[in-house]
Amino acid sequence: MNKVRIIGGQWRSRRITFPDIPGLRPSLDRIRETAFNWLMPFIPGAKCLDLFAGSGALGFEALSRGAQFCCFVDNNPRVLACLHENAATLAVPTNQYLILRAQAPKKMPLLPNKPYDIIFLDPPFHQNLLNATIIWLTQNQIINTQTLIYMEMEKNTPSVLSPAWEIVRRQETSRIIFQVAKLSDSQVN
């Protein structure tokens, strides 16, 4: 079993586990730290959605820092079992999270607590899932003009955002692009 550390908040330095599955790669500590520095003013009391949850590091980090609720979505039974174990280990109150088995953006159930304030999108690389997921989020009114979407993608990925989106923050490493974006006011019903 692999482990990743929660960087800040009430569970700072606690470790959560995740299975050794090809393609499952939690956000690096330094990337998560930068991303949460960007998002910190918006996290307290936020409703979050962690699609392609994987290790759950992004969602648990948000809960640790004061998010009100996080819905974790993944399709792998081993990942889902680890998410449940991590929530129990951290003693996350049951009204603060929901773990759903679904394959985003296809075959998605109705999601509770929409629209979300913050959405984490860190899908498996090389599967072209970001664009379809962003379209699905918009069409199903999972977002509004206040929603911030944090996304990670492999470097040299063509932009998946139309001009209707505003990139709030963006940074690159040698292999990864990570950014926070929001939809302009005129684009959400």
* Number of compact structural domains in the chain: 1
Segment among 47-56, 87-96, 100-109, 115-124 with least mean pLDDT:
100-109
- pTM for this model (two decimals): 0.93
67 φψ region: left (φ > 0), alpha (ψ -120 to 50), beta (else): beta
Q: What is the pLDDT of residues 145-160, one digit of tens each?
A: 899 999 999 888 777 7
Q: The domain spanning residue 182 has which CATH number?
A: 3.40.50.150
Range of the domain at 43: 2-187
Cβ atoms of 100 and 72 within 8 Å: the answer is: yes
